[in-house]
Homo-oligomer: A and B are copies of this chain.
Amino acid sequence: MSELREKARKASECARILSTISTEEKNQALQLIAIQLIEEETYLLKENDKDIVTARQNGTNEGLIDRLTLTSSRLVDMAEGLRQVASLSDPVGEVLSTDTRPNKLKISKVRVPLGVIGMIYEARPNVTIDASSLCLKAGNAVLLRGSSSAIHSNTALVTVVQRALEQTKIPVEAIQLIEDTSRETATEMFTLNEYLDVLIPRGGASLIQSVVKNASVPVLETGVGNCHLFIDRTAEKDMAISIAVNAKTQRPSVCNAVETILVDREWAILHMKELLQELANKSVSFVGDEEARAYDSRIEPATESDWENEFLDLKVALKIVGSVDEAINHIYTYGTKHSESIISEDALNVENFLNKVDAAAVYHNSSTRFTDGFEFGFGAEIGISTQKLHARGPMGLEALTSTKYIVQGQGQVKG
Q: A-side interface residues toward B, CB under 8 Å?
A: 16, 19-20, 99, 101, 105, 107, 112, 114-115, 191, 193, 197-198, 212-214, 216, 218-220, 236, 239, 242-243, 245-247, 250-251, 332, 354-356, 358-367, 369-371, 375-377, 387-390, 392-393, 402-414
Contact = CB atoms under 8 A, between A and B. Distances in A.
Contacts of A245: 413
Nearest to A216: B213
Contact of A243 (B243, B250, B370, B413): B413
A363 B407 contact: yes
Contacts of A101: 375-377
Contacts of A114: 388-389
A193 B245 CA distance: 33
Most chain B beta carbons < 10 A, residue from A388, A403, A408:
A388
Given A218-B389, A359-B404, 12 more contacts: A239-B411, A245-B413, A354-B406, A361-B404, A361-B405, A361-B407, A363-B407, A364-B406, A371-B405, A392-B404, A393-B403, A393-B405
30 contacts: A16-B332, A16-B356, A16-B358, A20-B355, A99-B376, A99-B377, A101-B377, A105-B370, A105-B375, A114-B388, A115-B388, A212-B216, A218-B218, A218-B387, A218-B388, A218-B389, A236-B411, A242-B413, A243-B411, A247-B413, A354-B406, A363-B409, A364-B407, A364-B408, A365-B410, A369-B414, A376-B405, A389-B390, A390-B390, A392-B402
Contacts of A390: 389-390
Contacts of A250: 413-414
Most chain B beta carbons < 10 A, residue from A361, A387, A411:
A411
Chain A residues touching B, majority SS: mixed
Given A375-B101, A377-B101, A370 B402 contact: no
A405 B360 contact: yes
Count this chain's copies in the assembly. Answer: 2
Contacts of A361: 404-407
A123 to B, nearest CB: 24
B359 A242 contact: no
A412 B358 contact: no
Which 5 pairs show the lowest CB-CB distances between chains A and B? A366-B409, A246-B413, A388-B402, A369-B414, A390-B390
Contact of A412 (B193, B197, B370): B370
B389 A402 contact: yes
Nearest to A257: B414
Contacts of A412: 243, 365-367, 370
A404 B362 contact: yes
Contacts of A360: 404-405
